[in-house]
């Protein structure tokens, strides 16, 4: 994929270097265009080093424009992303201006255009900015973010540029043919941690990547998505509501706290057991004892609990197995009242903490194999399959 990265002026411009690297790591060809003010924050040399291509900043570059290079750039791109997109560049785009190379390219390209706004919280909330955003959305421009949090000015609120990893994920996620506008989707992701004492816990190898990819895919299909996840450092997919938990009990409470859901996807690797009574202080090593006994109690079955809700959502679960994949997955689906289960092999470098996976998807009277692919691609395919089976049920 060929992606044109436009960078406008603002302190968040430094994040564009990481964005370019993430896109290049994913195999994309990247070219960069800087506005005049962006060059005050990041240098063309730095961006040329990470992109592997010359950086353009002027519409009046005699050498380049002799061949109408701005038109060639506009035709070259499969996607255009402006990150950060300042209030100024958003206003100029909304009004169809072409007074520098970046805004000229936006008018000259037929490729999809995305923007990642970045500005002070008061600027973001200003009616003029919101009108410009609404205008751009109406024209088909995708708005990624902004995020909320601490800003360079010292204030807190909405206006932070989305993290580069989240922007890259949004750009690289395959498009979906599913229309889930109006649907409420709840997804669990990642592993849980069950405390042993204040410094130790029982955990598993789940990275949460599949659940996060599903959240991005469901959101791209138009759903209102709530992502309930165990501890991890993955960026929140744009437009997704994230709830962070640590233990299985906390995850159950968060899931049951969601008032309404049409689809529930339990992609989390929830611990089956927890320590009955975690120690209140760090457990010390006993010099003359070679073993330590922990009493474990069973955790609640979140998926089974959701399947008993009324009205019942369409319930999708996962089964990670090391043997008899279909047999155990079928038993699990029936026992827990799932509508669909996604089974995959684990161990020996498969599935857990890997960028790709393969799934055998089972439902009452049906089975479909999703061949090994990158998890964002799998997520789109799985959402499409869920949509088909829902229509048939």
Taking a C-beta distance cutoff of 8 angstroms, is the pair 185, 265 a contact? yes
Q: What are phi and psi of 223, to 5 degrees?
A: -75, 155
Q: Are 267 and 210 in contact (CB under 8 A)?
A: yes
**Residue 81, token pair as written in the block:** 């992303």
Burial of 212 (0-12, 13-18, 19+ CB in 10 A): buried
Torsional class of 241: left (φ above 0), alpha (ψ -120 to 50), beta (otherwise): beta
The verdict on whether 229 is a catalytic residue reads no
Set 28, 153, 229, 342: catalytic member? 153
| Contact criterion met (CB below 8 Å) for 270 and 188 | yes
Phi and psi at 215, nearest 5°, equal -65, -45
Q: At what angle do helices 101-108 and 69-76 cross, to 10 degrees?
A: 50
Inter-residue contact 83 to 19 (CB < 8 Å): yes
For every residue of 8-46, DSSP letters joined together read -SSGGGGHHHHHHHHHHHTT-EEEEEE-TTGGGTS-HHH
Tokens of 48: 């040329």
DSSP for 294-341?
--EEEPP-HHHHHHT-SSPPEEEEEEEESS-HHHHHHHHHHHHT-SEE
Number of H helices, E strands in the chain: 14, 19
Can you tell me which residue has the tokens 């009990």? 249
Query: Which residues are catalytic, by number?
Result: 153
């Amino acid at each position: 994929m060929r992606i044109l990265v436009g960078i406008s002026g603002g302190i968040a411009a430094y994040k564009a270097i990481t964005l370019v690297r993430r896109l290049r790591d994913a195999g994309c060809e990247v070219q960069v265009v800087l506005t005049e003010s962006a060059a005050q924050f990041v240098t063309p040399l730095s961006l040329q080093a990470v992109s592997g291509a010359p950086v353009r900043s002027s519409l009046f570059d005699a050498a380049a424009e002799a061949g109408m290079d701005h038109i060639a750039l506009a035709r070259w791109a499969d996607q255009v992303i402006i990150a950060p997109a300042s209030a100024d560049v958003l206003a100029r785009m909304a009004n169809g201006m072409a007074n520098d190379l970046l805004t000229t390219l936006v008018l000259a390209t037929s490729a999809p255009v995305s923007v990642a706004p970045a500005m002070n919280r008061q600027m973001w909330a200003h009616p003029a900015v919101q009108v410009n955003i609404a205008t751009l959305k109406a024209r088909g421009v995708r708005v990624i973010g902004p995020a909320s949090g601490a800003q360079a000015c010292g204030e807190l609120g909405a206006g932070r540029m989305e993290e580069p990893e989240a922007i890259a994920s949004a750009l690289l996620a395959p498009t979906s043919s599913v229309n889930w506008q109006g649907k409420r989707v709840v997804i669990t992701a990642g592993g849980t941690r069950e405390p042993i004492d204040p410094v130790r816990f029982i955990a598993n190898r789940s990275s949460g990547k599949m659940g996060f990819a599903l959240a991005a895919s469901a959101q791209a299909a138009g759903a209102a998505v709530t992502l309930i996840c165990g501890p991890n450092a993955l960026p929140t997919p744009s437009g997704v509501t994230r709830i962070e938990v640590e233990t299985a009990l906390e995850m159950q409470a968060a899931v049951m706290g969601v008032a309404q859901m049409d689809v529930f996807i339990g992609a989390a690797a929830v611990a089956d057991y927890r320590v009955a009574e975690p120690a209140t202080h760090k457990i010390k090593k006993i010099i003359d004892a070679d073993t330590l006994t922990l009493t474990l109690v069973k955790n609640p079955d979140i998926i089974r609990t959701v399947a008993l809700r009324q009205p019942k959502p369409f319930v999708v679960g996962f089964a990670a197995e090391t043997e008899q994949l279909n047999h155990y997955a079928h038993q699990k689906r029936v026992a827990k009242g799932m509508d669909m289960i996604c089974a995959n092999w684990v161990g020996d470098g498969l599935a857990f903490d890997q960028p790709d996976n393969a799934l055998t998807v089972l439902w009452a009277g049906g089975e479909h194999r999703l061949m090994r692919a990158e998890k964002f691609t799998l997520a789109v395919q799985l959402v499409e399959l869920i949509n088909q089976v829902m229509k048939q049920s």
